[in-house]
Amino acid sequence: MKINWGTGIVIAFALFMTFILYFVFEVQSNSKYDNDLVVEEYYKHDSHFQEEMARIQNAHDLQQKPSIKYNKDGLKIAFPTTLKSDKIKGNVLLYRPSNKKFDFNTQIILTNSTLLIPKNKLVKGRWDVNMEWQYDEKKYLTKEVIYAD
């Protein structure tokens, strides 16, 4: 049986569409492929964007800013000594872009104007650090990216 070029093109398109549909079905049904949203309740998170930008601007306007550094002991967050440690309240969210199972939240409890998150709590790789804090009823947001080793 001889197949002309028109029939060959139709067969090629049908095989290609079958191939694509197979992979779409495989990714949607197999649990080993994680296709969740990056942030839970994405639209709710997006509606607070202006408030978030105001808190980031408040942190940017500070003369002395808190520092977020990774060292041999872990993640060290140091607040300026000009701020009274007992008036600083908030929490630190450590977000792992590659796997949300490693994400965790820590309340800010300072010792000598610093907070240390031990190295054993941080898996190697990239971490997004979002520190939401307030001082004298003014809210701040500091964002940093660190790489744990």
pLDDT at 148: 87
pLDDT at 32: 72
pLDDT at 110: 85
pLDDT at 12: 96
Closest CA to 87 of 105, 72, 101, 108: 108
How far is the C-alpha of 111 from the C-alpha of 107, rounded, in Å? 13
Residue stretches of the chain with pLDDT short of 50: none
Q: What are the CA-CA distances from residue 98 to residues 39, 53, 85, 113, 129 (Å)? A: 12, 25, 33, 31, 14
